[in-house]
C-alpha cells in the first residue's frame, strides 16, 4: 500500500466522521430585494477561507442604484420602515452602487473561534434608504487536528486482524506526558467509521513514535503499562473488517498490512471541539480460499501490497 493511498483512506475516514460539506448558502429576501451569503462549513486557524456575498433587486436595470455593507460579529435589527440598523466590524461598505446587483468574494483568515458574518443590501432608488434586507451566517474556525497515539491490540506487534473473527477488537488511545486522554469525548470516536461498544480508562500500553506515517508492520510496540492512563476501546471486529473492505473497495487479503484511522474530538472548550486523529497498522488474517481473494503481492516487512 502506498503512502498516498494510506492518507487518502485516512482523509476519507475523517470526511465520513465529520459529515461536513464544503459550503453553506443562506438567502434572505424582502419584497424584490435579496441578499445571499455563502460561507464554508468549517475553516482552519490561519488558513484562508472564502466568504461570498451577493445582492440583487428583481427586475433592476443598469440605471438602478443599490447599497451594500459586509460586517463581522454584528448586531442588527429592522426599523419600523424595514430598514436594517446594524453595528459591528465593517469589512466592506458602499453607499451608492450603480446597478441593481452586486457580488464579491472575500478571502479571510482567522484564529480559532466562531465568527458571524452579516451582509446588508438594499435599493437606493428614489431617495430610498440604505439597506432593505440582512443575511448572516456563522463560520467555525476549528483548532488544528491533534494527532494521538493509537495502539490496536495493545501489547501485540505486529497487530493481527482476523477478518473472519466474531469477537471484539481491543484498541487504546495511549496517554503521553503531553496528552491527557481524559480530554477526549469518547462518544465522538470512530475507528474506520465504526463506533466502539465499550470505553474505559486503564493503563495498558506505552506510546509508539512517530504517531503517524507508519508504513512497516513492525512500526508498533509490545510495551505494556507505563504509569499513564489510557483510553481503552472495544469494537466489534466484524464491523471494523467490513468497514475496511468498504474503504478499500475490495476484500482484504491474507498477510496484507493496512492503515486504520481513529477519528474523534476533544471535549469542547469555549464552544469549540478540537478534532483528533490516530493511526495504526494491522496485518490481515484471512483464511478464505485464495480463489475468493484478490491476488496481491504482499511485502510483510514494508507493510505494502500491490495487485498482480
CB 123 within 8 A of CB 33: yes
Beta strands in the chain (DSSP E): 24-30, 33-39, 42-43, 49-57, 65-78, 84-98, 101-108, 113-123, 133-141, 146-152, 160-162, 168-174, 190-191, 198-202, 230-236, 257-265, 275-285, 296-299, 304-307
What is the Cα–Cα distance from 31 to 36, expressed in whole angstroms?
14
Percentage, residues of the chain above pLDDT 70 = 85
At 96-112, the pLDDT tens digits run: 989 999 999 999 999 88
* pTM recorded for the entire structure: 0.57
For the chain, the domains span 3-18+145-307, 31-141
Percentage, residues of the chain above pLDDT 90 = 69
Mean pLDDT of 202-229: 95
What is the Cα–Cα distance from 39 to 180, expressed in whole angstroms?
34
Q: Check whether the bond before 5 is cis (ω within 30° of 0).
A: no
Q: Write down the pLDDT at residue 306.
A: 40
Q: Which of 276, 267, 6 is nearest to 150 (CA)?
A: 276
Q: Check whether the bond before 233 is cis (ω within 30° of 0).
A: no
Q: Write down the pLDDT at residue 141.
A: 87
Q: Which of 126, 115, 98, 104 is nearest to 51 (CA)?
A: 104
Mean pLDDT of 28-38: 96
Thinking of the domain 31-141, which architecture would CATH place it in? Answer: Sandwich (2.60)
What is the Cα–Cα distance from 269 to 185, expressed in whole angstroms?
12
Q: Is 291 helix (H, G, I), strand (E, B) or coil?
A: helix
Q: Which of 221, 286, 204, 210 is nearest to 248 (CA)?
A: 286
At 84-99, the pLDDT tens digits run: 999 999 999 999 989 9
CA distances from 297 to 1, 41, 90, 222, 249 (A): 10, 42, 61, 27, 17
At 241-293, the pLDDT tens digits run: 999 999 999 999 999 999 999 999 999 887 778 889 999 999 999 987 655 55
| 240 grid coordinates | 471494523
CA distances from 230 to 26, 151, 175, 279 (A): 43, 10, 5, 16
Amino acid at each position: 500500500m502506498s503512502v498516498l493511498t494510506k492518507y487518502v483512506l485516512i482523509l476519507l475516514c475523517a470526511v465520513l466522521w465529520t459529515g461536513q460539506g464544503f459550503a453553506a448558502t443562506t438567502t434572505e429576501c424582502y419584497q424584490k430585494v435579496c441578499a445571499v451569503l455563502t460561507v464554508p462549513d468549517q475553516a482552519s486557524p490561519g488558513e484562508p477561507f472564502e466568504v461570498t456575498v451577493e445582492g440583487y433587486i428583481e427586475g433592476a436595470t443598469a440605471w438602478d442604484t443599490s447599497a451594500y455593507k459586509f460586517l463581522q460579529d454584528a448586531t442588527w435589527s429592522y426599523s419600523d420602515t424595514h430598514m436594517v440598523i446594524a453595528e459591528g466590524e465593517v469589512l466592506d461598505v458602499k453607499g451608492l452602487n450603480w446597478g441593481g446587483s452586486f457580488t464579491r468574494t472575500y478571502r479571510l483568515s482567522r484564529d480559532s473561534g466562531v465568527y458571524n458574518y452579516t451582509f446588508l443590501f438594499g435599493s437606493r432608488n428614489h431617495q430610498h434608504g440604505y439597506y432593505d434586507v440582512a443575511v448572516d451566517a456563522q463560520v467555525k474556525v476549528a483548532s488544528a487536528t491533534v494527532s494521538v497515539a493509537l495502539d490496536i491490540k495493545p501489547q501485540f506487534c505486529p497487530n493481527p486482524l482476523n477478518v473472519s473473527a466474531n469477537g471484539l477488537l481491543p484498541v487504546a488511545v495511549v496517554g503521553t506526558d503531553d496528552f491527557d486522554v481524559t480530554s477526549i469525548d469518547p462518544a465522538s470516536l470512530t475507528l474506520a467509521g465504526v463506533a466502539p461498544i465499550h470505553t474505559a480508562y486503564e493503563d495498558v500500553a506505552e506510546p509508539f513514535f512517530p504517531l503517524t506515517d507508519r508504513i512497516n508492520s513492525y512500526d508498533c510496540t509490545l510495551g505494556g503499562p507505563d504509569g499513564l492512563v489510557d483510553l481503552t476501546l472495544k469494537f466489534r471486529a466484524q464491523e471494523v473488517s467490513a468497514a475496511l473492505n468498504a474503504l478499500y473497495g475490495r476484500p482484504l487479503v491474507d498477510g496484507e498490512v493496512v492503515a486504520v484511522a481513529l477519528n474523534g474530538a476533544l471535549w469542547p472548550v469555549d464552544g469549540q471541539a478540537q478534532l483528533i486523529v490516530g493511526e495504526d497498522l494491522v496485518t490481515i488474517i484471512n483464511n478464505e480460499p485464495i480463489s475468493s481473494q484478490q491476488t496481491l503481492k504482499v511485502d510483510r516487512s514494508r507493510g505494502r501490497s500491490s495487485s498482480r
